[in-house]
A and B are shown apart, each in its own frame.
Chain A
C-alpha cells in the first residue's frame, strides 16, 4: 500500500528535473529574444522582429478567448484597430501623453467589449465566427467613411512617442522590447487564469458548455470575463503598434486577414499551451515576411500560408508544442496505463484478494 501511494506521488508531480529543464529552456529562450536587437544584422531584420513581437502579443491576447473557451474569433482586428485609432486620436485630438493614451484607449475598448461580448457570446461555433467577422467589417466601413475623424483611406498620422531625435533603428529596438514586455504580461495573465479554478471552468466550457453549466459553472460570466481581458490586451497591442508604425489605414487596421493570422498562429503553435501562440507567431510572422519578400506585391504569400495551415491541420492538428511534447514523451519511461509491480507486490495483492473472497 505504501509503495502504491509513493508511486502515485511521483505520477502526479512531474519530476523536479523536468521543471528545472523547463526553466533553463525558458531562460535561454528569453535570453535569445532579448539579445535579438543586438544580433540583428540590419534595421530591416530588426523591424521584422518588431512585427513578430507584435504578432506574439496579439496572438497571446487572442488565445484568452480562443484557447481557453474554444470560441474562435476571426475578427480580433476590431479590438487592435480600435486600440490603434483610440491611441492616435487621444494624442492628436486631446493632446494626451502617448503611453497614457495607449492604456486609456485599451480600457475604453475593454469597456466596449462588455456589450459586444454580451451580444456575441450568446451564439456558439460557426455563428460566433460570423458575428466576429461582421464586427470587423462594420468597423472597416465606419473607419473608411468617417474621414473627418479617422482620415479615411488617406490614413491617420500618429506622432512618434520618442521624438524625432531618436533614430529609426533605435526606435525599432525600443519597440521590440516594449512588445516583448507586453507579451510577457499577457503570458503571465494567461498562465494565472489557466491554472485557476476559473481556468478549469473555462476549459470545461470549451469541452462541453451545457455540461459545465449543469455542474454549476456560470458559463456566460466566465466567457465574458476572458472576452473583455482578451479585447483589452489586443487593444494594448494595437495601440503600441500605432505608436511604432506611425500611421493607420483602415484597410490594414480592420482587416480580416490580421484576425486570420492570429488564429493560424495560435492553432499552429497549440491553443492549449501557454507558449503555443508565441511559437506560432514566430513561425507565421517570419513566413509572412519571408513570402512577402519572395513574391513581392503578388498575393502568392497568401497561397503559401494556406499551404502551411493545411500541413499543420493534417500532421499536427493540436499544434507544434503538443506535437513536440508527444515526441518527447515517447522516449520517457513511465506514464503508461499498465501499472508495473514487482513479484512481492503481486503476491501481496493476491493474498488480499484471497482474503476478500473467503
Chain B
C-alpha cells in the first residue's frame, strides 16, 4: 500500500481574488498520492477556481502549488499537464469539429520538431487512442465528429483525451454532472480501475453518494479555504461541514 502521508499535490496559502471577492483564500491543502481524493463544498466555495489555480489556467495572487516536489506555481497549463497533472472541465470541453479519434490524438505527448511532424494517424498513436476509446466504451464512434455524440459520450471522450496525455494525477471537475445514473456507475468504475493502476485522483463533485462511495480522502471547502479533511465517514459528521452545507 502507498504511504498514507505521501503527498504528490500540495498547495500552501493559495489565494486568488476577483475584485473584492477572495474566491480562493489562503488555501493550504494536500492530496494523498495514489488515492481518490474528493474536493467538496457548497456552490461558490472556490473549488473550480482552486482547480484553475493548480492547473495553471489562472495565476494565483499568492501562495504556492507543489506537484511531486516541484514548485509549479504560475507555470503555463501545458507545462503542468506535461508534468503529469491532467484535468477535465466542469462543463465538459471537447473539440467539437474534430473526430472522436482526433480528439483523443490531440492529447498525445511529443517532444521536439521531428516527433511533432510525425503523422498524427501513425499506427502507434492510433492503437493507443483506440485502446483508450475502447476502455471508456465509445470506440464505435471514432469517426463521428465530437459535436454529434451525446453529452455523456462527450464526457467519456474528454476522459479518454486526458488519459492519452499519460497523467499521473487526474483532476476531474464534476464528472457526474449532467449524466444519467448508469453512466455515473460507469465513470465510477473507470475511476476505480485507473486508481488501482496507480493514478491519483482529485475529484470535485456534488453527488454526495458518489463522493462517499468512491473517495478515500475528502477535503471540504467553504469560502475559498479547506475547513475539514479526512476519511469520508469522518467528514460527513463534522459539525463544521454540516454548518457550511446547511447553514445551521
- Give Cα distance in the complex from A226 to B46, angstroms: 38
- Give Cα distance in the complex from A197 to B110, angstroms: 8
Q: A11 — nearest CB in chain B belongs to which residue? A: B143
Residue of B82, B86, B93, B109 with most chain A CB atoms under a 10 A cut-off: B93
Please report whether the interface of chain A is mostly helix, strand, loop or mixed according to DSSP: helix
Please pick, from B107, B115, B120, B148, the residue contacting A195 in the complex, using a CB distance under 8 A.
B120
- Give Cα distance in the complex from A212 to B228, angstroms: 34
User: Shortest CB–CB separation between residue A221 and chain B, in angstroms?
Assistant: 9
Tell whether, in the assembled complex, residue A217 and residue B106 are in contact, meaning their CB atoms are under 8 Å apart.
Answer: yes
Proximity bits, A231-270, B CB within 8 Å = 1, else 0: 0000000000000000000000000000000000000000
Number of interface residues of B (CB under 8 A): 40
Please pick, from B89, B98, B125, B162, the residue contacting A204 in the complex, using a CB distance under 8 A.
B98
- Give Cα distance in the complex from A214 to B107, angstroms: 9
Tell whether, in the assembled complex, residue A196 and residue B118 are in contact, meaning their CB atoms are under 8 Å apart.
Answer: yes
Q: Is B108 interfacial (CB 8 A cutoff)?
A: yes
- Give Cα distance in the complex from A220 to B125, angstroms: 23
Q: B166 — nearest CB in chain A belongs to which residue? A: A216
User: Shortest CB–CB separation between residue A62 and chain B, in angstroms?
Assistant: 20
Proximity bits, B84-104, A CB within 8 Å = 1, else 0: 001101000111111000100
Q: Is A192 interfacial (CB 8 A cutoff)?
A: yes
Q: A219 — nearest CB in chain B belongs to which residue? A: B78
- Give Cα distance in the complex from A219 to B107, angstroms: 12
Contacts of A204 in B (CB 8 A): 95, 98, 106
Check A211/B95 contact, CB under 8 A, given A196-B116, A203-B102: yes
Please report whether the interface of chain B is mostly helix, strand, loop or mixed according to DSSP: loop
Residue of B96, B117, B118, B148 with most chain A CB atoms under a 10 A cut-off: B117
Check A208/B93 contact, CB under 8 A, given A197-B115, A216-B82, A216-B107: yes
Tell whether, in the assembled complex, residue B117 and residue A200 are in contact, meaning their CB atoms are under 8 Å apart.
Answer: no
Please pick, from A196, A214, A339, the residue contacting B89 in the complex, using a CB distance under 8 A.
A214
Interface residues of B in 88-146 (CB under 8 A from A): 89, 93-98, 102, 105-110, 115-121, 125, 140, 142-144
Q: Is B77 interfacial (CB 8 A cutoff)?
A: yes
**In the complex, which range does the number of interface residues on chain A fall in?**
20 to 34
Please pick, from B97, B116, B165, the residue contacting A215 in the complex, using a CB distance under 8 A.
B165
- Give Cα distance in the complex from A196 to B116, angstroms: 7
Tell whether, in the assembled complex, residue B143 and residue A197 are in contact, meaning their CB atoms are under 8 Å apart.
Answer: no
Tell whether, in the assembled complex, residue A200 and residue B120 are in contact, meaning their CB atoms are under 8 Å apart.
Answer: yes
Tell whether, in the assembled complex, residue A210 and residue B120 are in contact, meaning their CB atoms are under 8 Å apart.
Answer: no
Q: Is B232 interfacial (CB 8 A cutoff)?
A: no
Contacts of A213 in B (CB 8 A): 76-78, 81
User: Shortest CB–CB separation between residue B192 and chain A, in angstroms?
Assistant: 20
User: Shortest CB–CB separation between residue A226 and chain B, in angstroms?
Assistant: 12
- Give Cα distance in the complex from A212 to B107, angstroms: 8
Check A214/B87 contact, CB under 8 A, given A12-B142, A207-B96, A337-B144: yes
Q: Is A218 interfacial (CB 8 A cutoff)?
A: yes
Tell whether, in the assembled complex, residue B57 and residue A210 are in contact, meaning their CB atoms are under 8 Å apart.
Answer: yes
Tell whether, in the assembled complex, residue A210 and residue B77 are in contact, meaning their CB atoms are under 8 Å apart.
Answer: yes
- Give Cα distance in the complex from A9 to B57, angstroms: 39
- Give Cα distance in the complex from A12 to B126, angstroms: 11
Contacts of A211 in B (CB 8 A): 89, 93-95
User: Shortest CB–CB separation between residue A139 and chain B, in angstroms?
Assistant: 30
- Give Cα distance in the complex from A342 to B120, angstroms: 34
User: Shortest CB–CB separation between residue A57 and chain B, in angstroms?
Assistant: 22
Tell whether, in the assembled complex, residue B105 and residue A200 are in contact, meaning their CB atoms are under 8 Å apart.
Answer: yes
Q: B89 — nearest CB in chain A belongs to which residue? A: A211
Proximity bits, A187-211, B CB within 8 Å = 1, else 0: 0000011011111110110011011
Contacts of A207 in B (CB 8 A): 95-98
Tell whether, in the assembled complex, residue B120 and residue A216 are in contact, meaning their CB atoms are under 8 Å apart.
Answer: no
Q: B103 — nearest CB in chain A belongs to which residue? A: A204
Interface residues of B in 148-162 (CB under 8 A from A): 148, 161-162
A204-B95, A215-B164 known; 19 new pairs, CB 8 Å cut-off, are A195-B119, A195-B121, A196-B117, A197-B110, A198-B116, A200-B120, A203-B106, A207-B95, A208-B93, A208-B94, A210-B93, A211-B93, A214-B55, A214-B57, A215-B86, A216-B78, A216-B165, A219-B78, A337-B144
Which 10 pairs from chain A and chain B are nearest by CB?
A207-B95, A216-B81, A204-B106, A200-B120, A198-B116, A211-B93, A213-B77, A215-B107, A196-B117, A216-B82
Q: What are 18 A-to-B residue pairs whose CB atoms are below 8 Å?
A: A12-B143, A196-B117, A196-B119, A197-B108, A197-B117, A198-B117, A199-B120, A204-B95, A207-B96, A213-B76, A214-B57, A214-B81, A215-B86, A215-B164, A216-B78, A216-B107, A216-B109, A216-B165
